[in-house]
């Protein structure tokens, strides 16, 4: 239930339209709280109905574009919500289920999937590192910059951790596949 508050924070940082927000979610807050434009429009309507934000139509723009901004009541709600405690989100990753399945069933050909997943994490890692180098290169100039840099570090460490773990998984699978069990599975065409 954090999406309305994530939207409030994004609007606090900079006013914008629904699609503006959807695009910004794609490359900032969306890294740790993803949302589609449908969710964002729905919650923008709710936030406006609750009196936390206000909007006005933009006459010169195409589509029925509306500019949303945070009202004082919205800032007050944010100040109330930000320090609240809650449990951490449960870890839920199907790849761990698959690895456990591999453990239970024996070789099933999971290595190719692991390679793909490692590549995905490497791509994200490179993306985050590029942002870090571009926007947080030197010493943080403010408390807010230090916090935002830290959040980005969280993403970087997360990706790096997965890469490390999945490479170890590959070592287990591949040492096995080149070992005594090599004949249990057909060879892949490209290998």
Please state the closest distance from residue 97 (CB atom) to a copy of itself, in A. Answer: 5
Map the footprint of a copy of itself across residues 25-44, applying CB under 8 A. Answer: 29, 31-34
Q: Which residues neighbour 81 within 8 Å (Cβ) at sequence distance 6 or greater?
A: 5
105 binds, among a copy of itself, DNA, none (CB under 5 to 8 A by kind): a copy of itself
Position of tokens 């990706």?
159
Q: Can residue 7 be called a binding residue for DNA (CB under 7 A)?
A: no
Is 163 one of the binding residues for a copy of itself (CB under 8 A)? no
C-alpha pair distances (Å), 67 with each of 17, 34, 152: 5, 21, 28
Distances (CA, A) of 153 to 6, 90, 156: 19, 20, 5
Among 27, 32, 36, 174, binds DNA (CB under 7 A): 36
The one-character DSSP state at 30 is: G
- Beta carbon of residue 33, minimum distance to DNA (angstroms, whole number): 7
Work out whether 157 is an interface residue with a copy of itself (CB under 8 A).
Answer: yes
Given 7, 8, 29, 35, the residue binding DNA (CB under 7 A): 35
The answer to whether the CB of 177 falls within 8 A of the CB of 112 is no
Q: Is residue 25 a contact point for DNA (CB under 7 A)?
A: no
Query: Exposed, middle or buried, 41 (CB in 10 Å: 0-12/13-18/19+)?
Result: middle
Residues forming contacts to DNA in the complex (CB under 7 A) are 1, 3, 17-20, 34-39, 41-42, 44-45, 59-66, 90, 92
């Amino acid at each position: 239930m954090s999406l309305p508050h994530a939207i409030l924070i994004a609007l606090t940082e900079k006013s914008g339209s629904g699609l503006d927000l959807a695009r910004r979610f794609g490359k900032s807050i969306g890294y740790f709280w993803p949302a589609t434009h449908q969710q964002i429009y729905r919650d923008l309507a709710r936030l406006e109905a609750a009196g936390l934000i206000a909007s006005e139509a933009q006459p010169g723009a195409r589509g029925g574009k509306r500019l949303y901004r945070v009202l004082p009541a919205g800032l007050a709600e944010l100040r109330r919500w930000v320090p609240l405690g809650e449990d951490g989100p449960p870890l839920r990753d199907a790849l761990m289920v698959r690895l456990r399945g591999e453990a239970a069933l024996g070789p099933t050909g999971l290595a190719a999937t692991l390679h793909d997943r490692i590549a995905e994490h490497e791509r994200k890692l490179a993306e985050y590192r590029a942002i870090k180098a571009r926007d947080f290169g030197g010493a943080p100039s403010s408390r807010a910059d230090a916090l935002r840099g830290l959040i980005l570090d969280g993403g970087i460490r997360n990706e790096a951790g997965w890469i490390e773990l999945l490479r170890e998984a590959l070592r287990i699978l591949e040492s096995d596949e080149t070992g005594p069990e090599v004949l249990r599975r057909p060879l892949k065409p490209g290998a």
